[in-house]
Amino acid sequence: MKDETNAAPAAHPFDRAIAMRLLPDGNFLARTSDDYPNHIGFFGGYVAAVALNAALSRPDRLGDPVALTVNFAGPLVPGEFSIDIEPLRTTKSTQHWSIRLVQGPEREVKVSALAVFGLRREVWDHTASRPPQAPPAAECAAVPARFSGWFRNYEVRVPGGEEPAGTGELSSWQWIAEKPARALDFCALAAMCDSFYPRLYLKRPERSGVVTVSMNIYFHVDARILSTNGSRPVLAQADSQVFAGGFYDQHGLIWSDAGTLLASTHHIVYYR
Amino acid sequence: MKDETNAAPAAHPFDRAIAMRLLPDGNFLARTSDDYPNHIGFFGGYVAAVALNAALSRPDRLGDPVALTVNFAGPLVPGEFSIDIEPLRTTKSTQHWSIRLVQGPEREVKVSALAVFGLRREVWDHTASRPPQAPPAAECAAVPARFSGWFRNYEVRVPGGEEPAGTGELSSWQWIAEKPARALDFCALAAMCDSFYPRLYLKRPERSGVVTVSMNIYFHVDARILSTNGSRPVLAQADSQVFAGGFYDQHGLIWSDAGTLLASTHHIVYYR
């Protein structure tokens, strides 16, 4: 299967993981990656990147990603899956996609996603937010792998090299880059939007299961600006507002080291 | 058509607007409302409420809304439309829906939405955000109708009765309630998530077209807690972070007058 996809044999693990084969009907076939396991199923960031990559890989795709919503209906099981993708509507400046990751003889929907692509234009621009005051990545220390899963594909750097668990503060930031180094693109950026330490664990010492139910990403740059980042780490900032009835929110901003807001992300997470 | 829907003849305009008829195949038929026009098409909040109401009206619906994403592919034209709705997956505690508003002989997708419903449980709760310091609604003055469209269905109250246009600040709040009074429910809350004064106009005096491309809502209370609000105004707070390349973000929080966070919302808006 791997040889039939759009990833070169010697490609980066992330490129191999998100590779897919275009079918004559415009849908895709892919296979789960052994490099991005999670406690249950697979890393949500990798799954979001697969969904986005399907739209990016369509020959009739217009412009760059603007918005991506990924709803996690159930965990992918290891093996092959289908990506059903539909261009719902294309206008002069925007394009709407529906994307579903489907698996098994019953064609169970494991992931449902919506994406909006758009053509960005020269127009009045303004950034109201500012990145957090953070020392350069080179002055921070790498966080040891949290667990044996997907985290090994990232180098996360914070002062002192220790994630801020149990401080009672919900807001934190980290430098993050792919390991081994890889030039940042929209798929990698989407995956990084799910790389945050779960906010629940910052506030409540007792560990319990957390599962992202829905993840929303807005992209704020086009492919040209994004490409100027190269493989340099980005500054990822996260916070939460409310934990109520078994669902909590999490929001994040991803900044380039030059202070450009690359993406903002919002999650709703099931917890026990 | 109206007589066949689930709205009583003497119902509130909002109930008439979001009424729909369940078809034997589980989909719905509805008709655009003359009460919620916008500059182009219809009020996005009303459209979001229609999408949500379809899932709420399904006999196999599980629990309460947790997340709703509404992507606006194109404006509804006045008249009938179909609501194609599909339960993608139901687990013990969550349910995933796909909802599409479809119109015309070509069955054009005008709106595509995803919703997650869930059963909320008694569990550790925590709210980190606080509502803005605002005088009670009764001490604020009603804002005159911005235009002759959907805004007439709302009473918006701010100190002095003037919306904070062109102050250069992106952050603002308003008290909002339905007019005439109506007990708050999930559909009304979803609609109010789109009631904010466009952030672009707060920062850039020159008016130009703005169109919401995608709107995301997280609900933070269950139906029982929401019902305690009755018809009292809620405090709606909005901000923006970045205007870039013709798309800007907008985020909002909706608080009860008792200080409970009812919903958070995120939008990406096309601008010229």
ipTM value for the complex? 0.95
pLDDT at B5 over 90: no
B107 lies within 8 A of chain A by CB: no
pLDDT at A208 over 90: no
**What pLDDT score was predicted for residue B4?**
60
**Gap between the Cα atoms of B272 and A62, Å rounded:** 18
pLDDT digits (tens, 9 = 90+) for B119-149: 999 999 999 989 999 999 999 999 987 777 9
Q: Give the CA angle between residues A73, A75, A77 to the nearest 5°.
A: 140
Residue B214 burial by Cβ neighbours in a 10 Å radius (0-12, 13-18, 19+): buried
pLDDT digits (tens, 9 = 90+) for A38-51: 988 999 999 999 99
**Gap between the Cα atoms of A231 and A120, Å rounded:** 23
pLDDT digits (tens, 9 = 90+) for A135-153: 999 999 999 877 779 999 9
pLDDT at A72 over 50: yes
What residue in B sits closest to A98 (Cα-Cα)?
B112
**Gap between the Cα atoms of A249 and A266, Å rounded:** 7
Mean confidence (pLDDT) of chain A? 93
| Interface touch A127/B245, C-beta < 8 Å | no
| Interface touch A88/B73, C-beta < 8 Å | yes
What residue in B sits closest to A129 (Cα-Cα)?
B241
Q: Single out the residue of B127, B263, B272 nearest to residue B198, CA to CA.
A: B272
pLDDT at A100 over 90: yes
pLDDT at A3 over 50: no
| Interface touch B127/A244, C-beta < 8 Å | yes
pLDDT digits (tens, 9 = 90+) for A15-35: 999 999 999 999 999 999 999
pLDDT at A191 over 80: yes
Q: Single out the residue of A196, A183, A178, A208 nearest to residue A264, CA to CA.
A: A196
**Gap between the Cα atoms of B179 and B170, Å rounded:** 26
Six-digit token pair at B185? 């429910």
Which residues in chain B have Cβ-Cβ distances shorter than 8 Å to A91?
A: 74
**Gap between the Cα atoms of B65 and B219, Å rounded:** 6
**Which stretch, A1-10, B193-202, B205-214, B255-264, has highest mean pLDDT?**
B255-264
Alpha-carbon dihedral B65, B67, B73, B74, rounded to 10 degrees: 40
Model confidence at A160, pLDDT cuts 50, 70, 90, reads confident
Mutate to test the interface with A, among B114, B169, B193, B256 (most CBs of A within 10 A): B114
pTM listed for this prediction: 0.96
Give B 156-215 residues with CB within 8 A of chain A: 170, 203-204, 213-214
Model confidence at A2, pLDDT cuts 50, 70, 90, reads very low
pLDDT digits (tens, 9 = 90+) for B54-91: 999 999 999 999 999 999 999 999 999 999 999 999 99
**Gap between the Cα atoms of B210 and B197, Å rounded:** 11
**Gap between the Cα atoms of B29 and B35, Å rounded:** 18
Residue located via tokens 């269950």: B222
Q: What is the mean pLDDT of residues A156-181?
A: 87
Which residues in chain B have Cβ-Cβ distances shorter than 8 Å to A123?
A: 245-246, 271-272
**What pLDDT score was predicted for residue B201?**
87
**What pLDDT score was predicted for residue B165?**
65
Nearest chain A Cα distance for residue B1, angstroms: 28
B258 lies within 8 A of chain A by CB: no
**What pLDDT score was predicted for residue B166?**
64
**What pLDDT score was predicted for residue A177?**
97
Model confidence at B3, pLDDT cuts 50, 70, 90, reads very low
Neighbours of A263 (CB within 10 A): 24
**Gap between the Cα atoms of B112 and B230, Å rounded:** 30
b/e map A221-241, b = 16+ CB within 10 Å? bbeebbeebeeebbbbbbbbb
Neighbours of B270 (CB within 10 A): 20
pLDDT digits (tens, 9 = 90+) for B212-271: 999 999 999 999 999 999 999 999 999 999 999 999 999 999 999 999 999 999 999 999
**What pLDDT score was predicted for residue A6?**
78
Q: Single out the residue of B218, B215, B201, B188 nearest to residue B271, CA to CA.
A: B201
* B218 to A50, A215, B249: CA distances (angstroms): 24, 11, 16
Q: What is the mean pLDDT of residues A235-253?
A: 95
